Amino acid sequence: MTRYIYEFGPRSTDGDASMKNLLGGKGANLAEMARLGLPVPPGFTISTECCNDYFERGGCFPDPLESEVMTALARIEAQMGMRFGDPEAPLLVSCRSGARSSMPGMMETILNVGLCSKTIPGLAARTGNEWFVYDAYRRLIMMYSDVVMEKAEQVVPEDGMGIRLNLEMMMNNLKNDKGYEHDTDISVQDMRALCDRFKKKISEYLNKEFPDDPREQLMGAIGAVFKSWNGKRAVSYRRIEHIPDAWGTAVNVQAMVFGNMGNTSATGVAFTRDPATGKNHFFGEWLVNAQGEDVVAGIRTPNPLNKETKNMQNRHLPSLEEAMPELYAQLYDIRNKLESHYRDMQDIEFTIQEGTLYMLQCRVGKRTATAALNMAMDMFEEGLIDETTMICRLNPKSLDEMLHPIVDPVEEKIAVQVAEGLPAGPGGAWGKIVFTAEDAVQMAKTGENVILVREETNPEDIEGMRAAAAILTARGGMTSHAALVARGWGKCCIVGAGAMKIHARNRQLQVGTRTFKQGDILTLNGTRGIVYEGRLKMKDALENPKFQKFMEIADRHRTMGVRTNADTPEDAATALKFGAQGIGLFRTEHMFYGADSDRPLFLLRKMILSKSTEERQTALDELFPFVKQEIKNTLAVMDNLPVTLRLLDPPLHEFVPQTEATQGEIAKALGIDLEEVIKRSQMLKESNPMIGHRGVRLGITFPEVTRMQVMAIFSAAAELIGDGKHPRPEIMVPVTCNEKELSFTKKIVDVCYRDVLETHNLERIPYLFGTMIEIPRAALIADKMAEDAQFFSFGTNDLTQMTFGFSRDDIGSFMNDYIDHAILDSDPFETLDQEAVGSLIEIAVERGRQTRPDIKLGICGEHGGDPDSVAFCHRAGLTYVSCSPYRVPIARLAAAQAAIQENG
């Protein structure tokens, strides 16, 4: 029989930190903390397997569950000396969700389960604190009605607000009417009356009574936590984070401890090191006389944990270090224990009940990329972790954030400051302000840079937060929802900019006498927490010596090369700075787009529209010096390093002249009339240009086109050799599917090679001849392709397109549906499809090596900069990956980590 329940607590603990898949992260770590002897209130975890069984049975508990829950509960009762539902000594529990990996705020937790008319008087008598009991009760009512009675039942509120907001409004009205500033000011009588009115409201609003039976409350809560796994927010979060639906959530049922029992009680959240900077100091926030969520929800400005945590928003408030020094010392001790045990920064939740400290959660803390870098290097120096662990601590994807722009300090000096808040997510960003998540999503879709401005964020804002370039809130501390989420994503974010008054309804933001409307532009410096008017310039954050050193160490572990895709000398130079070891893809077409492209483009058009070989040859002769010069410039920058030059692969229809003026010019140049130009242009139209007359096929029809390019490559190299340089060109033939295409092309190359050697009086020019593998057929006959090809470069963009039969240019209309329906886990153009495209690569590698054991193998699609794909390339035995210049560091780190992982 499947075991569903695992206990944890001071007396006996079944699980441990390694059991995250079964117990969820929260449950596994609660068990681990209990094992370490830390003060964890006793409880038990219902496994993720049970969650899956629950869904399999169409939302019914597996048969033995309820009785097993009651048995486990009895063991908590015995330890606590209290009984669930007992009128004199009632035990209350929390019912907490917890998936394998943390999904902050995505799923549900219900506190104070077990309070009812039978248990309230007993708890009040026992604690002598009636206020506390009713505060706990009203929280239970609010959470329970929202999570269990409304969301889990999929009730769609008619007023669009939902029960929770209705109840919150009732509470706010009460506070306003009676002039209560904080929740804690509400009198016992009022709190009690409020609970009654809450229940009445629920009965009217949801047509159901709030359950007064503890056991019904508990089983209802457990089911609702399971259901929250399939709630709208949780599902959309999983899509963004690529978390499989099949993981399920665990449920933790745990004896309640109370931070809201008066002034010797408190609750808090802390990080064992600073999650924004990585500094080695204890960092956190707490509130006196409060329960669980209060700190995170930004209900009151939380107090700083200690000196190090004081900032402009909270420095007037007492720290835990000052207010409760003994408890702080105890917590500090736990902090050290946790760090040396987990050897990583932990994010913890604690509660103090009348002077006794309890630990309620720990997990590896989210951090900014900069913090991750600093912590990893510090912990290595402290001897806490070894070198390979250090290298694996930095998520390659997060480098993006570190290499990404900061506000230009020169412009910042003279910029107009609008407001100041807490620096919750680093880096800089500018954008048009919007006030709702929906607007953020809408505007971002049209390509706008937006900043999402909110009073505070909540999990419902998640998609808007994702779409925004930055997030700005008026309320909340460093551990607020906005801060946690932004840090997780490495997004620029400022929270708690209290001077801002936000009128979301009329889409306005007011600071002092100034008003900003939707669409106005602001710039955020998320590293300092300052908001500026208008758009400021951004700057690269590359020159970080610590980062350079880290990458140097990582490079020592890497076995695969990293090159770049670059079409210009400028890109090539940038990539060198980022550590590229050559070019994996140089596209000649580029010279027909960007700056100074008028003349070459004109000549290319002339060539394309030529009818006879003579006409074409004239155009090619004129084009030759341009092509040669472009290639020479880039080869010069990449001196001594390999440069893969792809032969022309132009989508012809894109280059055909469209306007009458350009058509006229060509007509004149070719000595034909306008009609004829238009006619020839029309003949070039193809129904499927993507699989039309392109790549090697062009050179089969017009060998002189290949000849011109190869001559340009060898001549450029020869001239550079003459200048004492060491060019290493690699000629790459695109869009091949047949070995004879290669032998055909190779003959042209051989003739050109001898020609250039003779002209320049050289003995040899080092070069390689090879092909892209981007058509499945080519992969399957790689053994034949390798007869002439000295290297393969996997063009995984086209290889993906042709393997899936998905047009790269048209996936926009259906890819989201594929992701939403979980038909695909991710967009195969972003993350390499290892199953099929990967198989083709593996087959090509194996067959290619049969013919040519020392064949060089690379990848030049977008995937070359995606960490998972890089790891795959390492495993597949590729020689190098190639990616855009800014992704070079990401690929370097991902390749180092792949090598480390391979060695165990």
Asked about 281 being catalytic, the answer comes back as no
Query: Of 96 and 487, which has the nearer Cβ to ligand ADP?
Result: 96
Catalytic residue among 392, 492, 860, 883: 860
Write the binding mask 107 to 146 for ligand ADP: x where contact by CB under 6 A, - elsewhere.
--x-x-----------------------------------
Chain mean position to CA 441? 17
Give the pair of three-digit tokens for residue 122. 């007993």
Least distance in angstroms from the C-beta of 353 to ligand ADP? 8
Query: Of 225 and 566, which has the nearer Cβ to ligand ADP?
Result: 225
The site partner of 262 among Mg ion, ligand ADP, none (C-beta below 5 to 8 Å per kind) is none
Residue 523 is a binding residue for Mg ion (CB under 5 A): no
The Cβ of residue 3 has, within 10 Å, a number of other Cβ atoms equal to: 12
* Amino acid type, 360: L
Query: Of 214 and 657, which has the nearer Cβ to ligand ADP?
Result: 214
Q: Which stretch binds Mg ion (CB under 5 A): 104-112, 282-290, 410-418, 850-858?
A: 104-112
Query: Of 297 and 641, which has the nearer Cβ to Mg ion?
Result: 297
Least distance in angstroms from the C-beta of 497 to ligand ADP? 24
Q: Which stretch binds ligand ADP (CB under 6 A): 254-262, 300-308, 613-621, 659-667?
A: 254-262
Query: Of 254 and 361, which has the nearer Cβ to Mg ion?
Result: 361
The residue assigned the tokens 């002039």 is 179
DSSP state of 146: I
The Cβ of residue 615 has, within 10 Å, a number of other Cβ atoms equal to: 17
Q: Which residues contact 310 (CB under 8 A, 6 or more apart)?
A: 304, 319
The site partner of 111 among Mg ion, ligand ADP, none (C-beta below 5 to 8 Å per kind) is ligand ADP
Query: Of 260 and 709, which has the nearer Cβ to ligand ADP?
Result: 260
Q: Which stretch binds ligand ADP (CB under 6 A): 17-25, 248-256, 670-678, 711-719?
A: 248-256
Q: In the window 29-58, what residues touch ligand ADP (CB under 6 A)?
A: 41
Least distance in angstroms from the C-beta of 127 to ligand ADP? 15
The site partner of 523 among ligand ADP, Mg ion, none (C-beta below 5 to 8 Å per kind) is none
How far are the Cα atoms of 52, 154, 256, 292 from residue 150, in angstroms, in the given order? 22, 6, 24, 22
Chain mean position to CA 350? 28
486 near 422, Cβ under 8 Å?
no
Asked about 116 being catalytic, the answer comes back as no
Catalytic residue among 404, 481, 557, 863: 481
SS3 477: coil
How far are the Cα atoms of 437, 560, 836, 843, 869 from residue 839, in angstroms, in the given order? 41, 19, 5, 6, 13
Q: Which residues contact 149 (CB under 8 A, 6 or more apart)?
A: 155, 163, 202, 206, 208, 210
- Report the alpha-carbon distance of residue 319 to residue 476 in Å, rounded: 17
Query: Of 360 and 772, which has the nearer Cβ to ligand ADP?
Result: 360
Q: In the window 85-104, what residues touch ligand ADP (CB under 6 A)?
A: 94, 96
Query: Of 96 and 606, which has the nearer Cβ to ligand ADP?
Result: 96
- Report the alpha-carbon distance of residue 872 to residue 867 in Å, rounded: 9
Query: Of 164 and 653, which has the nearer Cβ to ligand ADP?
Result: 164
Residue of the chain from 51, 91, 142, 256 that contacts ligand ADP (CB under 6 A): 256
HSE, side-chain direction, 13 A CA sphere, residue 2 = 15
Give the pair of three-digit tokens for residue 401. 């954030």
The continuous run of DSSP H or E covering 773 comes out as strand 768-773
Beta strands in 88-171 (DSSP E): 90-91, 93-99, 109-113
Least distance in angstroms from the C-beta of 508 to ligand ADP? 32
Least distance in angstroms from the C-beta of 335 to ligand ADP? 16
Residue of the chain from 228, 230, 351, 574 that contacts ligand ADP (CB under 6 A): 351
Residue 360 is a binding residue for ligand ADP (CB under 6 A): yes
Least distance in angstroms from the C-beta of 43 to ligand ADP? 7
Question: What is the number of residues in the chain?
Answer: 904
Least distance in angstroms from the C-beta of 846 to ligand ADP? 47
How far are the Cα atoms of 239, 807, 863 from residue 868, in angstroms, in the given order? 17, 23, 9
* # chain residues binding ligand ADP, by CB under 6 A: 16
Residue of the chain from 248, 292, 734, 861 that contacts ligand ADP (CB under 6 A): 292
The site partner of 802 among ligand ADP, Mg ion, none (C-beta below 5 to 8 Å per kind) is none
Least distance in angstroms from the C-beta of 518 to ligand ADP? 31
Chain mean position to CA 147? 28
From first CA to last CA, the distance across the chain in angstroms is 35
Long-range pairs for 817-823: beta carbons < 8 A, 24 or more residues apart: 819/239, 820/239, 822/245
Write the binding mask 345 to 384 for Mg ion: x where contact by CB under 5 A, - elsewhere.
----------------x-----------------------
Residue 254 is a binding residue for ligand ADP (CB under 6 A): yes
Greatest extent of the chain over all pairs of C-alpha atoms, in Å? 105
826 near 238, Cβ under 8 Å?
no
Write out the catalytic residue numbers: 481, 860
Give me the residues that bind Mg ion (CB under 5 A), please: 109, 361
Give me the residues that bind ligand ADP (CB under 6 A), please: 41, 94, 96, 105, 109, 111, 254-257, 292-293, 349, 351, 360-361
